[in-house]
């Protein structure tokens, strides 16, 4: 999906023109993939643009930095303030959702695998961005392929770190799925249980119960947590447990969640229709409730929004 350029990017404490936000070709993270990043969304509400769960995303960003030995030069409050001010400085179309990408990375100065002598930089970009898997996907659901690539093992990488190095695994799975004619990939963990999508968490519905895997082999998803909170408020029964691939095939409903994906129904997995092969009733109910929350139409969850 092509980027729609904004006016400014925040780079190491300064607001610079979009096209001037540059780094050196020998920046360490470009070669060795140690960078922490986040995906955050802001939505238009009746009270103005509002960032969804800003503090939770910033906290996870700094947790990733800690796990990855990135000594971020900006603290929690500074990163929150920078995201808010970036949205204020840029001019976005009315009634448009905005995607925010903070990143902390190892900069230019030292080469070689050891990175602790290298400088650490941070940047934040924001741009207008619609549905990650398409508006049609939000309504009618997408086709999913269970990937031949397993999710990174916890023996090899830190699954709770939202670090760039983890996403080569996601890229390979996503490319495999698309080249096979599907819309998205679903990855198993090293033991053969459902882990997550290439950039999303996964839910199924069976007999009215909402089921999602634990975060043993997946990112601790903020959107997944939001959906669980919303479902609990709606009185939906919830289970956090392992899911096998064959259980996906016989699920009544299935959907992905994520900051970019929001709540995207899955209508088919490995050429097998999920339920009736369309967006399910509970999925639609949760989808509508989720959008009520992010667009500021549900005061019970106003704590999740930071008004700009």
Catalytic residue list: 162
Residues with Cβ within 8 Å of residue 308, at least 6 apart in sequence: 42, 48, 49, 50, 51, 84, 87, 88
Burial class (CB in 10 A: 0-12, 13-18, 19+), 16: middle
CB 213, CB 256: distance < 8 Å: no
CA angle 76, 41, 87 (to 5 degrees): 70
Q: Say if residue 59 is exposed, middle or buried (CB neighbours under 10 Å; 0-12, 13-18, 19+).
A: middle
Q: Are the C-beta atoms of residues 187 and 163 closer than 8 Å to each other?
A: no
Residue 127: which of 2, 296, 36 has the closest Cα?
2
List the structure tokens of 168: 């080569």
The string of DSSP letters for 194-246 reads EEEESS-EEEEEETTEEEE--STTS---HHHHHHHHHHHHTT-EEEE---BHH
CB 101 within 8 A of CB 37: yes
- Picking from 131, 99, 97, the residue whose alpha carbon sits closest to that of residue 264 is 131
Measured in whole angstroms, the distance separating CA 62 from the mean position of its chain's CA atoms is 16
């Amino acid at each position: 999906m092509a980027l729609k350029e904004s006016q400014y990017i925040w780079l190491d404490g300064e607001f610079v023109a979009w096209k001037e936000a540059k780094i050196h070709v020998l920046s360490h993270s470009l070669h060795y993939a140690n960078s922490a990043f986040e995906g955050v969304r802001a939505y238009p509400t009746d009270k103005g643009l509002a960032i969804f769960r800003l503090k939770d995303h910033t906290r996870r960003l700094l947790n990733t930095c800690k796990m990855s030995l990135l000594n971020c030069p900006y603290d929690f409050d500074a990163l929150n303030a920078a995201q808010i001010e970036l949205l204020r400085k840029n001019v976005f179309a009315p009634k448009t959702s905005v995607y925010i990408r903070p990143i902390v990375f190892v900069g230019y100065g030292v080469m070689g695998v050891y990175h602790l002598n290298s400088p650490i930089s941070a940047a934040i970009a924001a741009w207008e961005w619609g549905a990650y898997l398409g508006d049609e996907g939000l309504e009618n659901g997408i086709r999913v392929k269970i990937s031949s690539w397993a999710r990174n093992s916890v023996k090899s990488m830190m699954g709770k770190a939202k670090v760039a190095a983890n996403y080569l695994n996601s890229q390979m799975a996503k490319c495999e799925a698309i080249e096979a004619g599907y819309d998205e990939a679903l990855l198993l963990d090293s033991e053969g249980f459902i882990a997550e999508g290439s950039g999303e968490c996964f839910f199924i519905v069976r007999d009215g119960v909402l089921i999602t895997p634990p975060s043993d082999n997946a990112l601790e998803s903020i959107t997944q947590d939001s959906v669980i909170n919303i479902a609990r408020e709606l009185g939906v029964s919830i289970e956090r447990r392992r899911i096998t691939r064959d259980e996906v095939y016989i699920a009544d409903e299935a959907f992905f969640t994520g900051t970019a994906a929001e709540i995207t129904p899955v209508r088919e997995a490995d050429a097998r229709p999920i339920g009736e092969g369309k967006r399910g009733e509970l999925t639609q109910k949760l989808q509508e409730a989720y959008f009520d929350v992010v667009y500021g139409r549900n005061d019970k969850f106003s704590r999740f929004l930071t008004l700009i």
